[in-house]
Amino acid sequence: MTVYTILPLNYDCSCKIEQRNQQGCDSIESMGNTMTAATNLGGNFMLTDTSIGLNRMGYGAMQLAGPQVWGPPRDIDAAIAVLREAIDSGVNHIDTSDYYGPHVTNQIIKRALHPYPDDLVIVTKVGARRGEDASWIFARARQELIDAVHDNLRNLGLEALDIVNLRVGGMMDPSEESIAEPLTVLAELKHKGLIRHLGLSNVTPMQLAEGLTITDIVCIQNLYNLAHRNDDGFIDDLAAKGIAYVPFFPLGGFNPLQSSTLNEVAASLDATPMQVALAWLLRRSANILLIPGTSSLEHLRENLKAATVQITSPELAKLETIGG
């Protein structure tokens, strides 16, 4: 039976994952914790049928590459500082891909954080590659997927990848194609021990159903935010199944959300619009895990504080109008 645990929104979980699984989260002192006592990252979510507990506020690393997610960043030291501060602040979930850069983002993660903290979970994705003109090209053939997994292992400096998402569909929205062939390849790599857990990205409920006949799926990563709510029903179904939902573009992506309603609500809560957008997602469903992307320390700090923003019912009603 699928069991999942959702701790309250403001649960301060500062212990190591392995210790938490054995003992529950007792006092911080008794845990030899690696995080600060002030950690409050939106509570913690246990991935279904795993021993992985993720703080609900994570970090998306795509913005660490150069412009258009291509080449190195202008300031590599700043990129390293962002990653290190995220971890020092209690983030234990980083989303990446070897096609960011390509290779660059994973190499920066390795340079900044390797050897990795025990409780850090690095989630990557495969299913695309980059053309020499920085274009995004599907790469879902058997050998392309195998190569992508090995590229991720090498550039991250890992012997096994914690979670790999199979990225399908178009640039933004999913399409109803069979995912059996590529997912079977990844399931084989999981069987060989190169991948611990699998997820899907940019998929429909039908594709998830097909995927579950092939292997366990621990997370879905689709486009969703305050203004883009196609997945409302899907999120509720996933919550019932205990599967994590990880919205990409939680702040609106390359063009962050702009809404006068969002600005008004943020002002009334003494928060920033981006903090409210993230706090709304945390409140929307307990299986939502956040991976906001930023290349800026200032924005990272702002985003992490969103875990403490409380949205009142009247403000929630206003925010609900943004997605139509």
**Which residues are designated catalytic?**
100
Residue in this structure with the two tokens 């159903």, named with its chain if needed: 209
Q: x/- site string to ligand NAP, residues 143 to 172, per CB under 6 A?
A: ------------------------x-----
Residue nearest ligand NAP (C-beta atom): 293
Residue 126, beta-bridge partner list: 166
In the complex, minimum distance from the CB of residue 231 to ligand NAP, in angstroms, rounded to a whole number: 13
| Single-letter amino acid code for the residue at 259 | S
Determine if 86 is a binding residue for ligand NAP (CB under 6 A).
no
The full DSSP string for 238-283 is HHHHT-EE--BSTT-TTS----HHHHHHHHHTTS-HHHHHHHHHHH
d(CA 293, CA 125): 15
Q: x/- site string to ligand NAP, residues 107 to 146, per CB under 6 A?
A: ------------------x---------------------
d(CA 129, CA 152): 12
Determine if 16 is a binding residue for ligand NAP (CB under 6 A).
no
d(CA 211, CA 261): 39
Q: x/- site string to ligand NAP, residues 210 to 249, per CB under 6 A?
A: -----------x--------------------------xx
Which region, judged by CB under 6 A, interacts with ligand NAP, from 38-46, 143-151, 181-189, 294-302? Answer: 294-302
Nearer to ligand NAP among residue 53 and residue 73 (C-beta):
73
Nearer to ligand NAP among residue 44 and residue 97 (C-beta):
97
Q: Is 256 exposed, middle or buried (0-12, 13-18, 19+ CB in 10 A)?
A: middle
Of 293, 309, 311, 319, the one binding ligand NAP (CB under 6 A) is 293
Determine if 61 is a binding residue for ligand NAP (CB under 6 A).
yes
Nearer to ligand NAP among residue 95 and residue 315 (C-beta):
95
Nearer to ligand NAP among residue 207 and residue 295 (C-beta):
295
Residues 263-282 close enough to bind ligand NAP by CB under 6 A: 274
Whether 48 and 2 have beta carbons less than 8 Å apart is answered as: yes
d(CA 198, CA 211): 10
- Token pair for 114: 């390797």
The full DSSP string for 12-80 is ---S-HHHHHHH-S--SGGGT-SS-TT--SS-EEEPTTSS-EEESB-EE-GGGSSGGGBS--S-HHHHH
Which residues here bind ligand NAP, judged by CB under 6 A? 60-63, 95, 125, 167, 201-202, 221, 248-254, 256, 274, 291-296, 299, 302-303
